[in-house]
Amino acid sequence: MTTAAHRPATLEDVARVAGVSRSTASRVIAGTGFASPAARKQVTAAVDQLGYVPNPAARALVRGGGVRLVVAVLGTSAAVLDDPYVHQVVGAAARVCTPAGVGVALYRLPFGDPRSLDQLDGDRSVCGVILVNTTEHLLAAVPRSLRGRVVSIGVGSATVPSFDVDNAAGSEEVLRHLYASGRRRIAMVTGPRWLPCAQRPVQTYRRLMAEAGLPERILPGDFRAARGRTAAGEALRRWPDIDAIYAISDDTALGVIAGLRDAGARVPGDVAVAGFDDIPLAGMTAPALTTASHPVGRIAVAAATALLDGRPAAPVTLFPSALVARASA
Amino acid sequence: MTTAAHRPATLEDVARVAGVSRSTASRVIAGTGFASPAARKQVTAAVDQLGYVPNPAARALVRGGGVRLVVAVLGTSAAVLDDPYVHQVVGAAARVCTPAGVGVALYRLPFGDPRSLDQLDGDRSVCGVILVNTTEHLLAAVPRSLRGRVVSIGVGSATVPSFDVDNAAGSEEVLRHLYASGRRRIAMVTGPRWLPCAQRPVQTYRRLMAEAGLPERILPGDFRAARGRTAAGEALRRWPDIDAIYAISDDTALGVIAGLRDAGARVPGDVAVAGFDDIPLAGMTAPALTTASHPVGRIAVAAATALLDGRPAAPVTLFPSALVARASA
DNA sequence: GTGAAAGCGCTAACAA
DNA sequence: TTGTTAGCGCTTTCAC
């Protein structure tokens, strides 16, 4: 029974109760170095008698390990930090970091300020950085001393490993599905132009349209539903014969469907709509959304784990994306 | 120009470059204690010449402050840690904690194990705990030495301040809206029975139904869309004359709408549906969802800030909820 | 196999 | 006002 001491126990306390030295206690608790079975037993007993929990801060201090994993999001405004996608990354990272005694921090990297990473570089409490919404420009600005402690969700570089969904393959599958169901006038609502990882689906779209001899119809977007809604109107106006819209995200797609409805077009009757992400609500809307899966949580977990392990990660880790065919396309 | 040293600068380095002692440097950087304008200038110069960033771990160690803020979620399975609502709390908390050099950790408190908080109690790196999905039982098990460092999003207690949305008032507004638009056979899909903060809207529902002399029709839910969908079918079967369903969350409400559609009932023609939360997608669905606002982010920010400040918070901080009338009711 | 001692980077008395 | 001195809790050589 832990008589929850008013002061949390320290290693010193454990050592005293176990009748050994701090060093020995440290060894058995950290699981490093030798210790006799006897000592081991004493220490373990003392530990749970005292309810001892090692202090990660002290540990990090002496080992130079760091206590925070930073999720750094590139964005023009602080609003990016309120994004559900970002929150999902933070949540997943926090979950894996917790057992390691590491906390998660959430930074915004101001757009066009390559030196914004220096702050993280000089912070000894930072054990790693997960870049979100990276650009090549930012990647090039990663300080030397940060190398090996930075990964990217999205595009990577020679020094920054990338963890991302295979959105090229996912997009291709969605697009082929559209084609297979007879659609021939397919528009795409994209992500922000400056975001490299959002360009891959666009390239796939272009290639497939070219291969099929179909016209290329691209509308810039921003991942958000509101933009999808306006984009749908634009699409209808510019290309009255349109019969499908592929949106870069489910949020966008849902907005597109709303915009189509606003304009009196039926989905999928007149225009088929497909998204990308497979958010939890995708199966609940009317019509249910056809999309491609996007395991954000697993990606974030992998990225955080790589950082925590400290082992050099593969340059690129791609997570498969699969078509989820529902009613909208 | 910060010649990004391969080794991050320490206070020692700053002091040396500034030509002062560590203490002086510490004083001006931490903003505590006295320092001559001259010294102040030297130190500041040295700081940005070296790109110095204080090490929160070392700082926490000596001040006994802690480097992690824990979001502790009560739940039967580890799946609760994947919940978008939880992620939103974690994200918002991370955002406010970051400038303070504090990271966020995400724990699950296993259901029915009151001692699960002891671990946090004995961890000196924990500067505070935000309880999510609390029960009175858990609240009663908060160790003495943790008091003052724990807040709750949801119900609180004499020793644990509560930060929550005013869901009683919000629910009342939604329900009155339903009544005002002529609905008289109103069912409610609730949250889990064991969750106290989910009972308040139910009590409000009961009171209002009783006052209006209307029948009470309650269906248990779990905040999730899938359950909303099945609940809609049940409602229709048990109460064929039903003309409105109030769901405890938007996810649930969207599921209810899907379930109603499955059964061939029109929304809001046959049955009006209202939710609670006002999630970003609520305005995009067909029909657009009538709901009440729920400022989760602001609540989490307030909770985290209270912990960071260390000042005793008010026993209860209620955040207003307002009706958002759209098409579904 | 175990303990003594040195320090990780920082703050906070206490003197000067 | 400033510097000196002690640690915060822990890991880790290095002798024993």
B81/A67 Cβ within 8 A = no
**For B265-283, what is the mean pLDDT?**
97
Query: Which residue among A57, A69, A88 places its CB closest to the CB of B87?
Result: A88
For residue A8, the chain B residues in CB contact (below 8 A) are: 121-124, 145
Give the span between the Cα atoms of A182 and A179, in whole angstroms. 5
Model pLDDT for residues B134-156, shown as the tens digit of each residue: 999 999 999 998 999 999 999 99
In single-letter form, the type of residue at position A175 comes to L
How many Cα atoms sit within 13 Å of B42 on the Cβ side?
Answer: 19
% of chain A residues with pLDDT over 70: 98
In the predicted structure, residue A39 carries a pLDDT above the cut 50: yes
In the predicted structure, residue A7 carries a pLDDT above the cut 90: no
- State the architecture of B68-165+296-320 in CATH terms: 3-Layer(aba) Sandwich (3.40)
Provide CATH 3.40.50.2300 ranges for chain A: 68-165+296-320, 167-292
Q: How far is B202 from chain A (nearest CA, A)?
A: 25
Mean pLDDT of chain B: 94
CB B271 within 8 A of CB B251: no
Q: Which of B299, B310, B329 is nearest to B162 (CA)?
A: B299
Residue nearest to nucleotide C3 (CA to C1'): A21
**For A88-99, what is the mean pLDDT?**
97
What pLDDT does B32 receive? Answer: 84
Backbone angles phi, psi at A232, to 5 degrees: -60, -45
B87/A84 Cβ within 8 A = yes
Q: How far is A186 from chain B (nearest CA, A)?
A: 22
Provide CATH 1.10.260.40 ranges for chain B: 11-54
CATH of B167-292, one of 3.40.50.2300, 2.60.40.10, 3.30.110.30, 3.60.40.10: 3.40.50.2300
Q: With an 8 Å Cβ cutoff, is B86 touching chain A?
A: yes
Give the span between the Cα atoms of B2 and B209, in whole angstroms. 68
Model pLDDT for residues B198-240, shown as the tens digit of each residue: 999 999 999 999 999 999 999 999 999 999 999 999 999 999 9
- Which top CATH class is B11-54? mainly alpha
Residue B195: CB atoms within 10 A of its CB come to 18
What pLDDT does B5 receive? Answer: 45
Query: Which residue among B57, B81, B88 places its CB closest to the CB of A125?
Result: B57
Residue A239: CB atoms within 10 A of its CB come to 16
C1' of D8 to CA of A29 (Å)? 20
CB B136 within 8 A of CB B292: no
Query: Which residue among A60, A90, A125 places its CB closest to the CB of B91?
Result: A90
Q: CA angle at residue B302 from B300 to B307, to 5 degrees?
A: 95
A71/B6 Cβ within 8 A = no
What pLDDT does B65 receive? Answer: 87
Which nucleotides on chain D have any atom < 7 A from a protein Cβ?
A: 1-13
Provide the chain B residues 220-259 that lie in CB contact (below 8 A) with chain A.
225, 229, 251, 254-255, 257-258
**For B270-288, what is the mean pLDDT?**
96
B51/A57 Cβ within 8 A = no
Query: Which residue among A10, A58, A91 places its CB closest to the CB of B106?
Result: A91
Residue nearest to nucleotide D5 (CA to C1'): B23
In the predicted structure, residue A170 carries a pLDDT above the cut 50: yes
What pLDDT does A34 receive? Answer: 83
What pLDDT does B6 receive? Answer: 65
Is residue A288 exposed (0-12), middle (13-18) or buried (19+ Cβ within 10 Å)?
A: middle
**For B19-30, what is the mean pLDDT?**
93
A87/B87 Cβ within 8 A = yes
Question: Among all strands, which nt has the closest C1' to B9 (CA)?
Answer: C9
Which residues have a Cβ under 8 Å from the Cβ of A265 and sit 6 or more positions away?
A232, A236, A271
Provide the chain A residues 301-320 that lie in CB contact (below 8 A) with chain B.
none
In the predicted structure, residue B33 carries a pLDDT above the cut 80: no
Give helix A199-212 / helix A167-180 axis angle, nearest 10°: 40
A67/B254 Cβ within 8 A = no
